Amino acid sequence: MARDYYGTLGVAKDATPEQIKRAYRKLARELHPDVNPDDGAQERFREVTTAYEVLSDPKKRQIVDLGGDPLSNGGGGGAGGGDPFAGFGGLGDIMDAFFGGGAAGGGRGPRSRVQPGSDALLRLELTLEECASGVNRDITVDTAVLCDSCDGGGSRAGSAPSTCDTCGGRGEVQSVQRSFLGQVMTSRPCPVCRGFGEVITDPCQQCSGDGRVRARRTITVKIPAGVGDGMRVRLAGEGEVGPGGGPPGDLFVEVEELPHERFTRDGADLHCNVEVPMTAAALGTVIRLHTLSGEEELTVEPGTQPGTEHVLTGHGLPKLRSNGRVSGHGDLHVHLDVVVPTRLDEQQSELLRQLATIRGEEQPEPTVTANGNGQRHGLFSRFRSFGHR
Report the pLDDT value the prediction gives residue 56, as an integer from 0 to 100. Answer: 87
CA 216 to chain CA mean position, Å: 20
Burial 109-119 (b: 16+ CB within 10 A, else e): bbbbbbebbee
Strand locations in the chain (E): 120-126, 135-146, 162-163, 172-179, 182-189, 198-199, 212-223, 232-235, 251-257, 264-266, 269-277, 285-291, 294-300, 309-312, 318-320, 326-329, 332-339
- 20 neighbors 9 (Cβ within 8 angstroms): yes
Summary count for the chain: helices (H), strands (E)? 9, 17
| Residue type present at position 185 | M
Backbone dihedral angles phi then psi of residue 186, each to the nearest 5 degrees: -120, 150
pLDDT at 345 over 50: yes
Model confidence, pTM: 0.60
C-alpha 314/C-alpha 329 separation (Å) is 5
C-alpha 300/C-alpha 287 separation (Å) is 7
pLDDT at 388 over 70: no
Q: DSSP state, 203? A: B
C-alpha 151/C-alpha 189 separation (Å) is 26
Report the pLDDT value the prediction gives residue 181, as an integer from 0 to 100. Answer: 61
pLDDT at 355 over 50: yes
CA 189 to chain CA mean position, Å: 32
C-alpha 146/C-alpha 153 separation (Å) is 10
In the chain, domain spans: 264-340
Q: Is 131 annotated in some ligand binding site?
A: no
pLDDT for 303-313, tens place per residue? 999 999 999 99
- 329 neighbors 317 (Cβ within 8 angstroms): yes
pLDDT for 15-61, tens place per residue? 888 888 888 888 887 877 666 667 777 788 888 888 888 898 888 88
Give the up-direction half-sphere exposure of residue 201: CA atoms within 13 A in the CB hemisphere.
9
DSSP assignment of 47-107 equals HHHHHHHHHTSHHHHHHHHTT--TTSTTS--SS-TT-TTTT--SHHHHHHHHTT-SGGGSS
Alpha carbon distances (Å) from 261 to 24, 132, 271, 329: 55, 15, 12, 21
Structure-model confidence comparison of residues 293 and 269, the more confident one: 269
pLDDT band at 95, cuts 50/70/90? Answer: very low
- Residue 181 CB neighbour total at 10 angstroms: 6
The dihedral sign for the CA sequence 72, 76, 80, 82 = negative
pLDDT for 171-208, tens place per residue? 888 887 776 666 777 888 999 998 999 999 999 999 99
C-alpha 197/C-alpha 59 separation (Å) is 12
Q: DSSP state, 151? A: T
Which class is domain 264-340?
A: mainly beta
Q: Is 272 annotated in some ligand binding site?
A: no
